[in-house]
Every structure is written in C-alpha cells, then in structure tokens.
Amino acid sequence: MRISVFGAGYLGAIHATCMAHLGHDVTVCDVDAPKVALLSSGHTPFFEPGFEELLQATLASGRLVFTGSADEAVRGAEMHFICVGTPQQQGADAADLRYVEAAFNTIVDNVDVSGTIVGKSTVPVGTAQRLAGLVSERGEDDPHLEVAWNPEFLREGTAIQDTLNPDRLVFGVDSQTSEKAMTEVYAKLINDGTPYITTDLATAEMVKVAANSFLATKISFINAMAEICEVASADVVTLSRALGYDDRIGSKFLNAGLGFGGGCLPKDIRAFSARAGELGAADAVSFLREIDKINQRRRERVISIVGNIFHGDFLGRHIAVLGAAFKPNSDDVRDSPALNVAATMHLKGASVCVHDPQAIDNARRMFPTLTYCGSLKDACRDADLIVLATEWGEYRNIDPNEFRALVRQPILVDARNALDHNYWSESGWQVHALGRGVLNR
C-alpha cells in the first residue's frame, strides 16, 4: 500500500519505518528540515534500541522516504497516518490539538486520490468524529476520504517489538470501507496472529487514555502503599511481591519508587480529566488528580530523605544522580523524575553531577545549569551521596566495594528499589530507599 505519515518524531518515525519493513511504500512528512535530513541519512534524533539499524535497512530497500513536502507525501497515497504530538496546553490540563488539526488539514488540502486518514496521536475523545465531520462537507468532485483511529501502544525501549509484534490492534472506524483499509494495511500482523478489535471512533480514542490511566493508577497505588510502609516500618518491596502473585493483580507496574514521567502518562491523565470535565463527567475520573499528586510526592520524598541525611543542609554537598531519562533504554527527559530531583537539590545549594548512558544531551538542553558527567565513575568520585534515579542495567551492575573507594561518604539513596540493599549494606554502605521503613530506621 502507498502510505503517507505526518510527523517524524518518535511515534511517526518508528511507525513509518515499521510499515516500510512490512512491505508498504511509505513517505514521511515533517516541517523540521534538519530532522528530515538526519533521518534520510539513516541516523536518528532519539535513542531507541534497534531502531537505527531498522531505519537504515528500510531506507536501503527504497520503500521509505522522508520529505518536507506535503504534496510529495500525500500524492497517490491510499492511507495517511497522523503521528504528531498532542502536548499539554500551556497553563491548562487539556491536550493541545493544533498539530493534529494542522496535519489533518494539510492532508485534506493535498490529497489527490480517495483514501483513509488514520489518527495514531493520542487525542481527547470526540476529536475523530469532529474531524470526520469536516471531510463529509467536501464536494462531490473531491477525492473521497474516510477517517479512522488507530491508537498507538508504544513503550519507549521496546517500540520496534511493540509495532511489529503488538499484543493487540484497535481500529476505530465508522464504515466498512475504513475497516477493510485497516485490515489490509495490517494484514501481515493479523495473519501472524495479532488479535484486533474493530470499534467506533470514540471507543478507539478512549482505549489509549484509559490504558494509560490504569497504568498510572497501578504505579501510584504501590507508591501510596510505600508512603504507609515508611511510617509503619514495613517493606514495600516484599509487599509488592506478595501482591503480584495474585493473578487478579499481577506484578507488572507494581514496583514502588520515584514514580512515572515521560511524554505520555502525566499529560494523558491530565488531558483525560480535562476532557471528562468538558463532557460533564469530571467526578468519574476525579481519582486521577490524586494519582498525579501521589506521583509528584515521590519526588518530594526523595528530596526529604536526602535532606534528613544532611540535617537540612544541602549547601556544598556533592551529590551524584544516576539517571536523567524518565526510564531506562530511552533518552527522553520529558517530565523526568530523575532530572526533577537533581534540579531541586541543585537549587538547594548542592553540587549535583548527573550521569546517564543516553540522555545527557537532552538533559543538558533542559537543565543547562546542572553538571553532567560522561563517566559513571567520574560522576560518583568524591560524592557525599549517590541517588539512583533511573534503573539502567549499568547501575544495577555497580560493584559497591569498588565504588566505595571512589566516594567521600558511602551513602546511597535507591529511589527505584533496583539494587540488592543487603549486598550494598554488607559492603559498608548506608542505604536508604522509598517505602522501606525497616531499612530506613
């Protein structure tokens, strides 16, 4: 199938590359000329394991092209994917849809054959139906356009696997023509056994925000339990393990720590709450506001633990923060708990050195006043305290005996509960963690 993709960011670039890998002819349009040039050369503007190799292979096949020309992208295409961002509005919780609307209008203005416009961007429920109403007003002589919604479920760090071997596909459609187009474009995945659900436009839009709301709730639930464990001298790690054996609950996303960040969960739950309010159903998701508060309190708790260790005096303390990305296997620092903690301690007077295997450049652009170290050992050298803030595998493999010789004081705050605390303690370290009251006594 001849496909256009609008947006060459994380979602658009990966989706387009995977569609080309599946055998489609794909042209990607983006207004960012340097990004288009970089991707066209086979290099990526972000870190995602395995993506650069797949990008280079699909470019070599001739089935993938990046361009700044909307006309070139749309010409002859039977399907158009909208993969642009929907950030949080400035000064409000609602989603900013200007990029979705601009991409949609550009496609409509340039289309030369009948086809389907498919939204993958995460949008407030009702957006797709509104856009479908706009194409229904087109003249009889214009190419016929259908609107469908196909929410994305990419996880940073496993995005290639999530695209080529998804656990489900969701097609929001309002006609058999749209449904047929969706099953054709994903025919290889469906034939390989990927289950798919065909539903209406509104339900398809709801799937992504409902899924993210559930995950945010599960993460914040165990972090709320961590707050109680700290004052009750209980251990949230053991509690989580015991809960996870219950197959009604499960162990995934049940790890207490510094909380979630990134470009999806925080803004999506806020936008969902805002949209529910517009629809007159604010009370139905009022719990999401508390979820947001619990998540933010985890960052404050790490600062509190460090402050207690230093008796409230951060001035002149040398602190190593391990991690800048919001999660491992990513260079995304949007709403990163790790960077938030590092910046706050810096503002309190500490000398903070941040290390991350992939995200230093992005972190430096966001917080240029922090100090960044390319070497893990250099970051920890002469440190009065280490905060493990992002659970990269590299940090899990630190030898506490070796690093004890580097630091000024062997004090560790494991904000992700990612390390073997007994091993570190036996190696002479004072270990603190979130939700482990027994450990912190």
Q: Three-class SS string for the chain? A: CEEEEECCCHHHHHHHHHHHHCCCEEEEECCCHHHHHHHHCCCCCCCCCCHHHHHHHHHHHCCEEEECCHHHHHCCCCEEEECCCCCECCCCCCECCHHHHHHHHHHHHHCCCCEEEEECCCCCCCHHHHHHHHHCCCCCCCCCEEEEECCCCCCCCCHHHHHHCCCCEEEECCCHHHHHHHHHHCHHHHHCCCCEEEECHHHHHHHHHHHHHHHHHHHHHHHHHHHHHHHHCCEHHHHHHHHHCCCCCCCCCCCCCCCCCCCCHHHHHHHHHHHHHHCCCHHHHCHHHHHHHHHHHHHHHHHHHHHHHCCCCCCCCEEEEECCCCCCCCCCCCCCHHHHHHHHHHHCCCEEEEECCCCHHHHHHHCCCCEECCCHHHHHCCCCEEEECCCCHHHHCCCHHHHHCCCCCCEEEECCCCCCHHHHHHCCCEEEECCEHHHHC
Structure tokens at 326: 């919001």
The pTM for the full model equals 0.93
CA-to-CA separations, 190 to 84, 166, 186, 193, in angstroms, rounded: 25, 10, 6, 5
Q: How far apart are CA 326 and CA 389, in angstroms?
A: 9
Tens digit of each residue's pLDDT, the chain (441 residues): 999 999 999 999 999 999 999 999 999 999 999 999 999 999 999 999 999 999 999 999 999 999 999 999 999 999 999 999 999 999 999 999 999 999 999 999 999 999 999 999 999 999 999 999 998 877 777 899 999 999 999 999 999 999 999 999 999 999 999 999 999 999 999 999 999 999 999 999 999 999 999 999 999 999 999 999 999 999 999 999 999 999 999 999 999 999 999 999 999 999 999 999 999 999 999 999 999 999 999 999 999 999 999 999 999 999 999 999 999 999 999 999 999 999 999 999 999 999 999 999 999 999 999 999 999 999 999 999 999 999 999 999 999 999 999 999 999 999 999 999 999 999 999 999 999 975 544
Phi, psi for 32 (deg, rounded to 5): -85, 95
- Map out the domains of the chain with their CATH numbers: 2-199 (3.40.50.720), 214-440 (3.40.50.720)
Q: What Cα–Cα distance (Å) separates residue 115 from each residue in 54, 94, 103, 145, 177? A: 27, 30, 15, 5, 9
As a whole number of angstroms, the distance between CA 124 and CA 49 comes to: 30
User: For residues 16 and 63, is the Cβ–Cβ distance under 8 A?
Assistant: no
Distance CA 149, CA 127 (A): 10
CA-wise closest residue to 6 among 62, 72, 63 = 72
Q: Which residues pair with 412 in a beta bridge?
A: 386, 431
The strand pairing partners of 199, in sequence order, are 172
305 in Cβ contact with 413 (< 8 Å): yes
Give residue 438's pLDDT.
Answer: 57
Q: Which amino acid makes up residue 84? A: V
pLDDT at site 441: 43
Place of tokens 């569609």: 19
Spatial distance between the Cα atoms of 56 and 286, rounded to a whole number of angstroms: 46
Residues assigned a catalytic role: 264
Residue 359 has a pLDDT of 97
Structure tokens of 120?
């993958």
Alpha-carbon distance 64 to 66, whole Å? 7
Residue 350 has what pLDDT? 97
